[in-house]
Amino acid sequence: EEEEEEEEEGSESSSPVSYQMKPPPEGCCTTDGFCQAGKDLRLVSISNDHIEVPSGFLLVGAKSPNLPDHLLVCAVDKRFLPDDNGHNALLGFSGNCVGCGKKGFCYFTEFSNHINLKLTTQPKKQKHLKYYLVRNAQGALTKGSVICWKG
């Protein structure tokens, strides 16, 4: 019981928010382009894979500062993405890992940690989600239109 109380006390912090990533849990993959479960998320690697996309979600490409020539494939609830004019995106985030299948990420920080998207900036970190991904005539996943973030 004492341990639980200590954990609760430790989680309540009055210190300012730090935008540096916390170290990943022990045993996790930390390789750029791979999720913490070790699954490849690079568009070039999984463009021909069948990716299960839940209803209401879209596949988008995230741009990693450490992998400038690659897009990371993400499944994001479309309600949290802007329309073509850069408006009407709900505040918040909801996403799934297309690599290992982990679902229910409610915070972009948590999600970016899981996919090893190493960010050092705040606000509007979702702006790292750069492109919609679409299937071409051959059925391969490719970079589509730019996600229009305003503000």
**C-alpha R_g of the chain:** 17
The average confidence (pLDDT) of the chain is: 82
pLDDT of 11 strictly over 90: no
Report whether 124 contacts 106 (CB < 8 A).
Answer: no
Domain boundaries, the chain: 34-146
pLDDT level of residue 6 (50, 70, 90 thresholds): very low
- Integer CA distances (angstroms), 16 to 28, 35, 92, 100, 125, in order: 27, 28, 20, 32, 18
C-alpha 149/C-alpha 125 separation (Å) is 11
pLDDT score for 23: 63
- Residue 46 · residue 98 · CB < 8 Å: yes
**Share of residues in the chain with pLDDT > 90 (%):** 54
Helix (H) / strand (E) element for 71: namely strand 71-77
pLDDT at position 24, please? 59
Position 83 scores a pLDDT of 86
9 pLDDT higher than 70: no
Q: pTM of the full predicted structure?
A: 0.78
CA distance 19 to 22: 9
Given a cut of 80, whether residue 33 has pLDDT beyond it is yes
**pLDDT score recorded for residue 17:** 42
